[in-house]
Amino acid sequence: MENNSEMRQWLDDLKLSHPLVIAGPCSAETEEQVLDIARQLKASDASIFRAGIWKPRTRPGNFEGVGAIGLGWLQKAKAETGLLMAVEVANASHVKLALEHDIDVLWIGARTTVNPFAVQEIADALEGSDKIVLVKNPVNPDLALWLGGVERIYNAGIRKLGVVHRGFSTYEKTKYRNIPEWQIPIELHDRFPDLPIICDPSHITGQRDMIQQVSQQALDLNFDGLMIETHNNPDKAWSDAAQQVTPTALKQILDNLVVREKTNENDAFNTKLQSLRLRIDGYDAKMMEALGKRMLIAEDIGALKKENNVVVLQNKRWNEVRQRMHSMGLAQGLTEDFIDRLFRAIHQESIEHQEKIFNAD
């Protein structure tokens, strides 16, 4: 897949004066609910109405969507409000029904993106279509798998493409439902800057009171838009109640967002920015030098352990280091998540350097 301006053209064709906003309930529940929410969203900055028709649930027995009957409700909402309609599709049958009901935007969910066979089935069903297709990131932090899903859709001739960042699952307890791992969508955007990227703060946070913060982070990182779950009675929602907001709350969130300029031609600004970046470059170089020296010491430790027949992994020592660095990092204004990820990575690299010594002849 190559960078291609056609991938972004659909976004430009919407002629938005603000970032793209996709909003609507996690699940379409009744015709009245769909129409009521769509009417309220028409008065906001939302351009696309989203609603789950088929809901892939982790365990059987939970609400799995109203099914194809909901597509008729979306048709009525589109006719009345003029909003574009979006649904999640997980197989070729879903695609066929969505196309028959003239749904404008089809998105591939995180649980489907992890399955190349399913994505290929969807791609084959979409061939020849001019619909907008969005690919959510896979459940686990795997950039290659995410890009693979996009490439399969692209190879089917679909050029109205975009991606949705909804965070990644983790066994660790964090403040997020799905950790953002911002570096992954940033790398994707660096590789394919013509590919529109949308943030789903509802699924990242899992709680409505954090949506404003994560939405602002996404815009500050030059994302093209937001997908925010919006319900007329969130606490009574049939799925994911905690992360949905009312249309009124959505409008307040959007009104409070700061949309920043992509560049600034002011000479004084650029001179100061370059000066600060040079300082960062200096610290980065020092960090790399310090880490390199640290790994040499780790190799000396590995040689000493090998000579004395001692195992590489020393859990007591590792926990001491982690606790000490946690305290020092917090004192420097670093976040707990960053400190933990950083020293887990350093610890893993140290182990690999020691194992290299153990495995040497």
Q: What domains, with CATH codes, occur in the chain?
A: 6-256 (3.20.20.70), 267-359 (1.20.59.10)
Token pair listed for 245: 């907001």
C-alpha–C-alpha distance, residues 96 and 128, integer Å:
12
C-alpha–C-alpha distance, residues 166 and 118, integer Å:
19
Token pair listed for 359: 């495995």
Please answer whether residues 256 and 212 qualify as being in contact, where contact means their C-beta atoms are separated by less than 8 angstroms.
yes
Please answer whether residues 198 and 162 qualify as being in contact, where contact means their C-beta atoms are separated by less than 8 angstroms.
yes
Q: What pLDDT is attached to residue 57?
A: 67
Name the residue type at position 53: I
| Whole-structure pTM value | 0.82
Short-list 213, 211, 209, CA closest to 227: 211
Q: What pLDDT is attached to residue 186?
A: 93
Short-list 51, 59, 107, 56, CA closest to 76: 51
C-alpha–C-alpha distance, residues 130 and 192, integer Å:
21
C-alpha–C-alpha distance, residues 143 and 155, integer Å:
18
Average pLDDT across each block of 10 residues of the chain; the chain has 361 residues. List them in order: 80 89 97 97 92 81 85 97 97 97 97 97 96 97 96 95 95 87 93 95 97 96 96 94 96 93 86 92 95 95 93 91 93 91 93 91 70
